[in-house]
Amino acid sequence: MAAAGRSALAIDFVGGAVGYKLRSGAARSHALLKATGMAPGRALQVIDATAGLGRDAFLLASMGASVTLIERSPQVHALLAQGLAAAQAESAELAGVVARMTLIQGDARDLLPTLQADVVTVDPMHPERTKTALVKQEMRLLRDLVGADPDVCELMQAALSARCGRVVLKWPLRAEPLAGVRKPSYQIAGKTVRYDVFVLPRGAAEERAPGADAALNP
Ligand SMILES: C[S@@+](CC[C@H](N)C(=O)[O-])C[C@H]1O[C@@H](n2cnc3c(N)ncnc32)[C@H](O)[C@@H]1O
């Protein structure tokens, strides 16, 4: 664990990239919303099994979802708690978003069997890229703090066995599918990442595959 990473990493839901995305309205067209099945008037219950910097969870909560965030690193969990407290104190609007977020410290592989939701999202640390400059500064600092996530296949198995209607895996756009994990129902491509969407039997009746990316899902 790198001391520099520990001191430099901060989680800011008020300014920075997260604040900009929300203020500019860019959040509304984010591919994650489509992948989770978010729609106006549909208040989803989401479990973010890999909370990390909390950006995805904050985006979903700001669009009306109730989100349970699970983070296993005590240090990252503490940073998240600080970031959420700061957002709560900033304005009534942000306090409303934070009120829809529940932060838990622990390993999602153990916790998922005890929870239920409409959607489980999984965004493990991605395999290291050779062009490290392409990896955003915060993600480098997070990697310094928590390392890689070698148990991602086990986590996916826990997510796919959870009481939920859909699992969304965020993974590098061009990376191979995870070995040992079933084929996704469909994929949604972003600029650098893709969302592998697994529609599970519980939600099959009400789920549709909006904008399934045929090129990525032959
Ligand atoms: C790539 S980051 C997630 C980034 C996050 N989606 C965001 O928007 O900021 C991955 C995080 O998941 C956490 N993590 C990985 N496996 C986990 C598990 N089994 N249970 C809980 N947290 C886990 C890591 O500690 C790390 O903080």
Residue 105 covered by a domain: yes
Residue 71 covered by a domain: yes
Which residue's entry shows tokens 């955003």?
136
What tens digit of pLDDT does each residue of 69-118 get?
Answer: 999 999 999 999 999 999 999 999 999 999 999 999 999 999 999 999 99
The side-by-side arrangement of strands in the sheet containing 193-199 is 101-105, 66-71, 45-48, 119-122, 166-172, 193-199, 186-189
Which range of residues forms the domain containing residue 68?
3-23+30-35+42-150
What is the rounded distance in angstroms from the CA atom of residue 19 to the CA atom of residue 27? 10
The CA-to-CA distance between both ends of the chain, in Å, stands at 41
Residue 7 covered by a domain: yes
pLDDT computed for residue 25 by the predictor: 67
Residue 55 covered by a domain: yes
The residue whose CB lies within 8 Å of the most ligand 1 atoms, and thus the one to mutate among 71, 79, 138, 154, is 71
pLDDT computed for residue 17 by the predictor: 73
pLDDT computed for residue 144 by the predictor: 86
Ligand 1 close to Cβ of residue 83 (< 6 A): no
Return the ligand 1 atom nearest residue 52 CA. 27
What does each C-alpha distance from 102 to 80, 122, 138 come to in angstroms? 11, 16, 23
pLDDT computed for residue 130 by the predictor: 55
Asked if residue 197 lies in contact with residue 166, where contact means CB atoms within 8 angstroms, the answer is: yes
Residue 164 covered by a domain: no
Residues of the chain with pLDDT under 70: 1-7, 20-21, 23-26, 129-135, 202-218
> In 10 A of CB 86, how many CB atoms?
16
Residue 110 covered by a domain: yes
CATH code, domain with 12:
3.40.50.150
Q: Under DSSP, is residue 121 helix (H, G, I), strand (E, B) or coil?
A: strand
Give the residue ranges of DSSP H helices in the chain.
3-8, 16-24, 31-36, 55-62, 74-90, 92-99, 108-111, 137-146, 152-160
What is the rounded distance in angstroms from the CA atom of residue 141 to the CA atom of residue 130? 16
Ligand 1 close to Cβ of residue 123 (< 6 A): yes
ipTM: 0.99
Which residue's entry shows tokens 């296949």?
153
Annotated binding site: 55-56, 71-72, 123
Residue 47 covered by a domain: yes
Total domains, the chain? 1
**Which residues, other chains included, contact 190 with Cβ-Cβ below 8 Å and sequence gap of 6+?**
31, 173
Residue 108 covered by a domain: yes
